[in-house]
């Protein structure tokens, strides 16, 4: 499961960061996910709870924010928003789009004790 390995990596990074800063517990994690990343937030939530078990992030809350994807349209030469992969340009209905953002998963911030 794609989301489980993402969760494990995310929790690893969060715990490592909190430990370096000298904190004892992670209480909340906020993630930003690009809308084209094919990550299911429900699966990510489940994976996250599993990955937190037995770590200092056990029981931490998870907030997921979707980032709308952006692409550069080579036909009308501007940056446009995309709702989903495979969409055409909302301005000119062209398909010559280069995706700029929307495929990432980022840790936005964490709350610690």
List binding-site positions for Zn(2+).
73, 76, 89, 92
CB-wise, 40 or 75, nearer to Zn ion?
Answer: 75
User: Is 73 among the residues that bind Zn ion (CB under 5 A)?
Assistant: yes
Question: What strand order describes the sheet that includes 69-73?
Answer: 78-82, 69-73, 97-101
Cβ contacts of residue 97 below 8 Å, gap of 6+? 71, 72, 73, 74, 80, 82, 87, 88, 89
The torsion angles phi and psi of 12, rounded to 5 degrees, stand at: -55, -50
Interaction mask 83-102, Zn ion, x per CB under 5 A:
------x-xx-x--------
Site string for Zn ion, 7-36 (x = CB under 5 A): ------------------------------
Distance (Å, whole) CA 80 – CA 69: 8
Q: How far is the CB of 34 from Zn ion (least distance, A)?
A: 20
Question: Measured from the CB of residue 73, what is the shortest distance to Zn ion in angstroms?
Answer: 3
Least distance CB 81 / Zn ion (angstroms):
12
Nearer to Zn ion, 49 or 75 (CB): 75
Q: Which of 102, 108, 106, 103 is nearest to 9 (CA)?
A: 106
Alpha helix positions (H), 1-113: 2-20, 41-52
Question: Closest CB to Zn ion among 61 and 90?
Answer: 90
């Amino acid at each position: 499961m794609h989301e489980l390995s993402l969760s494990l990596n995310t929790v690893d990074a969060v715990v490592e960061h909190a430990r370096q800063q000298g904190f004892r517990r992670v209480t909340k994690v906020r993630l930003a996910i690009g809308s084209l990343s094919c990550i299911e937030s429900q699966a990510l939530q489940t994976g996250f709870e599993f990955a937190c078990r037995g770590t200092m992030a056990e029981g931490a809350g998870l907030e997921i924010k979707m980032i709308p994807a952006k692409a550069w349209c080579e036909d009308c030469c501007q940056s446009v928003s995309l709702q989903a992969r495979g969409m055409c340009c909302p301005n000119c209905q062209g398909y010559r789009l280069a995706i700029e953002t929307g495929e990432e998963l980022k840790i936005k911030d964490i709350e610690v004790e």
